[in-house]
Amino acid sequence: MYTLLIQIKFLKTACLIEPYAVGVEINSRASISEKDKVVVFGSGPAGLAVMQVARARGAEVLITDVFDERLKLATEMGATKAINVKDIDLHQAVADFTNNDGAHVVVDAVCSPTSILDALDIVAPSGRFVVLGTGATPSQIPQVAFTKKGINVFGTRLNNKRFPEVIRLFENHLVTPENDYTYI
């Protein structure tokens, strides 16, 4: 059991501790810091949590989606840049965002066969790639993408006892989960 020391306006905010715990776990496993340019695929609850925790750590974050209303929310919640991949070329947007260096970290909260391939294309050499969730369709992943770039790959959906850290983020107002009610 964990105690919240802040007054939570709505019980819904407390319900978001678990997705934010996954966001903290991903940021920790991928060692996201203020030096990183991070790309997050998908601005649903998990993607937004990952993005906000990365921003709280000082990273710049480009988040993607195909729904403009989600991207508007992502911008309001602190995304450095938000793009609709139906309208804007992902590869060019990432090249512009990273000065052609590639993303230090790519988090795939969409997990479609094409998103995984896109992630492998845009991640920087020696970068980190986090697969969040499971896709309905199996992916064909070219092995050479891992060895040619020397990337580190992580998979997680676990919160790994991160609730206390999330509660601190909430208490210190370093993330704004109350804006994420759309999905509850």
Domains of the chain, with CATH numbers?
11-177 (3.40.50.720)
Region 146-151: what's the mean pLDDT? 90
Torsion of CA 164, 167, 173, 178, to 10 degrees: 150
Using CA atoms, how far apart are residues 108 and 155, in angstroms rounded to an integer?
10
pLDDT for the residue 110: 92
Are the C-beta atoms of residues 16 and 180 closer than 8 Å to each other?
yes
Taking Cα atoms as reference points, which of 119, 67, 110, 53 lies closest to residue 90? Answer: 119
**51-55, 83-87, 94-98, 137-141: the lowest-pLDDT one:** 137-141
Q: What is the pLDDT of residue 178?
A: 64
SS3 109: coil
d(CA 145, CA 165): 34
pLDDT of residue 16: 75
Highest mean pLDDT among 11-20, 117-126, 171-180 belongs to: 117-126
Kindly report, residue by residue over 156-182, the tens digit of the pLDDT.
Answer: 767 767 777 777 777 777 777 766 555
CB 113 within 8 A of CB 135: yes
Q: What is the pTM of this model?
A: 0.86
